[in-house]
Structure 1
Amino acid sequence: MAKLKAVDCSWTVLVLLLFTVLKPVHLADQPSAAVSSRMGNYPSSPSGSSNRASASFVQEVVSHNCIVIFSKTTCPYCRLAKNVFNEIGTPYKVIELDQHEEGKQLQDTLGEMTGARTVPRVFVNGTCIGGGSEAKELHQRGKLLPLIQQCAPCCEGSGMDDSSGAQPASYNL
């Protein structure tokens, strides 16, 4: 009987660990000062103020736009994410990291904030939903539109410029 309890306990710990790892990241829960100076094997900028500035930029853009896609112009998964929102006719804000002056630092910061450094990083209503494949899957399962419909009023119509030099496909919801 003691063996059964140990197995049940291990299973519970595993489930809790998986839930913690897989839960969506909401930037309101991430203090900008908590961004560390390193992420995995990718060294970030040596300046802590640069990390804070990048984190503040990401939080500002995400909090003022219902849908934000941090992208690279040559990435097929980034095109996939943009196509999902184009298909449903939902405008979005795009930041092209390969055309942004601080693109590498922003990508490092996104990795630290969301747990993944890959692009795209798609945010809906302040929450990172993942990348292009996850956006497509949520749409196919009928779960993306309800997330978009919950967008806070503060996110509507801000019209912020992406400062990357590139024109975003569209702006805010």
Structure 2
Amino acid sequence: MSSAKTQAQNLIDQNAVMVFSKSYCPYCKSSKDLLSSFDAEFKTVELDDIKDGDAIQAALQEISGQRTVPNIFIGQKHIGGNSDLQALKSQLPELLKAVGASS
């Protein structure tokens, strides 16, 4: 397994809610805003702000089948992107509570 894939998988495994994002992406901002509106505890990695961001993004495609951002995982399960997260809006409180990412 490549080091980028290992790094991405470790982030997914160690965080109840993991958002792979890019700092300039409006869809990423929308996803982070939605999670914040539920007081969710989540970890974000801005792929455009880190040295190996491109390699991690490529590794995420191997892991999830999705290359675009945001690339969101809740409870180590791939949720998808912003439209997928928005579609789960009514279920988010329960999902977040189930993984211990909200009170």
Same fold (TM over 0.5): yes
1:127-159 CA-partner distances (Å, limit 9, x unpaired): 1100111111101xx2222222221xxxx6xxx
CA distance in 2, matches of 1:63, 1:145: 20
- Cross-structure match for 1:39: none
Asked if 1:65 is matched to 2:15, the reply is yes
* Amino acid in the other structure paired with 1:132: N
Map of 1:108 onto structure 2: 58
Aligned to 1:77: 27
Where do 5+ consecutive residues of structure 1 fail to align? 1-32, 34-51, 157-171
Residue 144 of structure 1, aligned match among 92, 96, 99: 92
What is the root-mean-square deviation in Å for CA atoms of aligned residues? 1.4
Aligned to 1:46: none
1:90 is paired with a residue whose SS is: coil
TM-score by length of 2: 0.91
Equivalent residues of 1:80, 1:133 under 8 A apart: no
Give the alignment partner of residue 37 of structure 2, picking from 87, 101, 104. 87
Equivalent-residue separation in structure 2 for 1:128 and 1:100 (angstroms): 22
Q: Which residue of 2 aligns with 1:47?
A: none
Number of aligned residue pairs: give it.
102
The answer to whether the aligner puts 1:122 opposite 2:72 as a matched pair is: yes
Partner of 1:5: none
In 1, the alpha carbon distance for the partners of 2:86 and 2:48 equals 23
Q: Secondary structure at the match of 1:143?
A: helix
- Using structure 1 for the length normalisation, give the TM-score: 0.56
Partner of 1:99: 49
